[in-house]
Amino acid sequence: MNKNKLSIAVILSCTLLASQTVHANSQDCYSCFTSKASQGTANIVTGFIEIPKNIVNISHEQTIFVGMTWGVLRGAIHAVSRTLVGGAELIASPFATEDFISPAYVWERFSEDTRYFDLNFPGYWITYGPFDNGQ
């Protein structure tokens, strides 16, 4: 009889532990979902800020002429790319995925070049922030 009580106690404690783990994982999934959804929405809405970002940063690294020509072109390409990637992030927000874009928001590490899927656009200006590995 004592074996049965011990078995029941072990089963109950394992069940409680498993339910707490599932609850913790569901909270992690929920926070991951909301984080990805808000990041995707923000990138859709603020993608156009890539244009002045690229103008300022390229002008600082090169000349004002290069910033006003190459910066506008590069900024427009990044604006479209950030907006499209933001849509992909919003669609993929229910799933656990790697980050699609770095930096996550256009206003984070403003002087850093934007990379998508750890790739960058070629060109005059490629600067990495202090949190990146510089590759």
Q: What is the pLDDT of residues 47-86, one digit of tens each?
A: 999 999 989 888 888 889 988 998 899 999 999 999 999 9
Q: Domain segments of the chain: what residues?
A: 2-120
pTM of the model: 0.66
Indicate the pLDDT class of residue 23, thresholds 50, 70 and 90.
very low
Dihedral over Cα of 25, 27, 28, 34: its sign: positive
The C-alpha atoms of residue 134 and residue 104 are separated, in whole angstroms, by 17
Indicate the pLDDT class of residue 8, thresholds 50, 70 and 90.
low
Residue found under tokens 């910066």: 71
Q: How many other C-beta atoms lie within 10 A of the C-beta of residue 54?
A: 26
Concatenated DSSP letters of 80-128 = HHHHHHHHHHHHTTTS----SEESSSTTTTTTSPPEETTEE--SS----
Residue count (the chain): 135
pLDDT above 70 covers a percentage of the chain that reads: 65
Give the tokens for residue 18.
């498993």
The C-alpha atoms of residue 81 and residue 79 are separated, in whole angstroms, by 5
Confidence at residue 4, expressed as pLDDT on a 0 to 100 scale: 60
Confidence at residue 13, expressed as pLDDT on a 0 to 100 scale: 47
